């Protein structure tokens, strides 16, 4: 249960993870009535490419957001802020129209701020910032800022800020594209996810306590790949463990050579590629790897091949669900870090904000 899971170490991160449905509701309610959202929607232009820019977790958020925008017929792609700064000619092309969105929880991430300044000042592009802070350098650098202040965190690692900004960007995409069905799915997600946090965490913690692994792999396709990347990072950060991420069906093409009893392979399974991923799940189980699977619905084959299965049972549109998949990678990372005697609130070698010297 939630109260049992929160210990002195990791208490901030766990409480922030469990607060996500409530946090999503608060953020979306305020965003819906904000003048800034209206201004951001007005920046959408026919034929323009949405360019999502971030670092670390914010880059994986950029990947997930770009997937949603592409589904909404708003051409989009994700770019690491460092790549945009160092290789602008590979990312920005003369004669093309862009709507850049720069992502930073703190609004102080040096590369994100510099990317926004470059886009605004050197490229004369009007940019949108999304952040969980106010009055920070990113806000000063961008033309419009979406502030999700309720999603800010005490912890070093991003959890509710990631999912809240994800939903905020999906809301922006739905509003810009006029897709009311997608918008409803985003708004209904908090209510659908909240019941899942009553019993799954306790079962997941028991699974963590029952097995130890030396390697972790996260697999996903399409709209869930950015989420799998973020789950990989959460396990790395919160438990100081070695983790990797691959597109699911790419794992057969070489990486499966590392599959074995000391590896936990986690599948984030979408409906579109479900049957192909079930075959891969069975294949990896046969190779001796431990398997965890997260899906909206399971059949018997997938259940038999999973050492641990999380069924979401959501009614939301497939492309509106990714935030609900992120929670379990976050929790696994924290629980495994606690099992190793670490403090996931303050992982070694990490700071809450990456600020570089001028």
- Domain topology for 2-188: Rossmann fold (3.40.50)
Please, what is the end-to-end C-alpha distance for the chain in angstroms?
46
The whole-angstrom separation of Cα 58 and Cα 52 is: 9
Q: Name the burial class of residue 323, with classes exposed (0-12), middle (13-18) and buried (19+) by CB atoms within 10 angstroms of its CB.
A: buried
The superfamily (CATH) of domain 193-339 is Glucose-6-phosphate isomerase like protein; domain 1 (3.40.50.10490)
Of 66, 147, 41, nearest to 104 by C-alpha is 147
- Pick the range with the lowest mean pLDDT from 2-6, 133-137, 313-317: 2-6
What is the percent of the chain with per-residue pLDDT over 70, rounded to a whole number? Answer: 98
Q: Please, which pLDDT band fits residue 53 given cuts at 50, 70 and 90?
A: very high
Domains 2-188 and 193-339 share a fold: yes
Q: What are phi and psi of 308, to 5 degrees?
A: -145, 130
What is residue 9's predicted lDDT score, i.e. its pLDDT?
85
Per residue in 81-124, pLDDT (tens digit) is 999 999 999 999 999 999 999 999 999 999 999 999 999 999 99
Of 275, 268, 218, nearest to 241 by C-alpha is 218
What is residue 3's predicted lDDT score, i.e. its pLDDT?
40
Please check the confidence at residue 5 and state whether its pLDDT lies above 60. Answer: no
Q: Please, which pLDDT band fits residue 10 given cuts at 50, 70 and 90?
A: confident
Residue ranges of the domains in the chain?
2-188, 193-339
Please check the confidence at residue 138 and state whether its pLDDT lies above 90. Answer: yes
Structure tokens of 43?
């920046």
Please check the confidence at residue 176 and state whether its pLDDT lies above 50. Answer: yes
Please check the confidence at residue 233 and state whether its pLDDT lies above 60. Answer: yes
What is residue 351's predicted lDDT score, i.e. its pLDDT?
77
**What is the secondary structure of 126-166 as a DSSP string?**
--EEEES-SSSHHHHHSSEEEE-GGG--SSSS-SHHHHHHH
Whether residue 221 contacts residue 248, with contact meaning beta carbons closer than 8 Å, is answered with yes
Question: How much is the average pLDDT of 265-291?
Answer: 97
């Amino acid at each position: 249960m939630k109260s049992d899971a929160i210990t002195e170490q990791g208490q901030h991160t766990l409480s922030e993870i469990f607060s996500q449905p409530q946090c999503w509701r608060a953020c979306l309610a305020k965003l819906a009535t904000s003048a800034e959202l209206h201004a951001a929607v007005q920046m959408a232009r026919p034929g323009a490419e949405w360019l999502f820019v971030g670092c670390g977790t914010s880059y994986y958020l950029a990947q997930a957001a770009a997937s949603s925008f592409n589904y909404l017929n708003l051409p989009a792609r994700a770019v690491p802020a460092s790549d945009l700064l160092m290789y602008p000619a590979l990312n920005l092309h003369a004669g093309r129209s862009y709507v850049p969105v720069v992502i930073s929880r703190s609004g102080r991430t040096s590369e994100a701020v510099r990317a926004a300044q470059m886009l605004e000042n050197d490229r004369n592009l009007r940019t949108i910032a999304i952040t969980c802070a106010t009055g920070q350098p990113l806000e000063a650098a961008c033309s419009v800022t979406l502030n999700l202040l309720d999603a800010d965190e005490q912890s070093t690692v991003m959890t509710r800020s990631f999912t809240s900004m994800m939903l905020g960007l999906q809301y922006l995409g739905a509003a810009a594209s006029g897709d009311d069905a997608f918008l409803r799915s985003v708004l209904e997600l908090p209510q659908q996810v909240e019941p899942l946090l009553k019993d799954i965490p306790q079962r997941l913690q028991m699974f963590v306590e029952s097995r130890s692994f030396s390697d972790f792999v996260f697999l996903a396709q399409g709209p869930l790949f950015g989420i799998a990347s973020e789950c990989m990072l959460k396990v790395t950060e919160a438990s100081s463990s070695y983790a990797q991420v691959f597109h699911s069906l790419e794992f057969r093409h070489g990486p499966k050579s590392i599959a074995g009893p000391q590896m936990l392979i986690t599948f984030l399974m979408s409906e579109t590629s479900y049957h192909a991923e079930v075959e891969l799940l069975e294949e990896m189980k046969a190779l001796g790897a431990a398997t965890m699977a997260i899906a909206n619905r399971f059949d018997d084959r997938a259940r038999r091949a999973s050492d641990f299965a999380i069924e979401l049972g959501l009614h939301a549109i497939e492309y509106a669900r990714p935030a609900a998949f992120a929670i379990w990678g976050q929790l696994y990372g924290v629980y495994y870090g606690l099992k190793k005697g670490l403090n996931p609130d303050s992982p070694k070698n990490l700071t809450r904000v990456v600020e570089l010297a001028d």
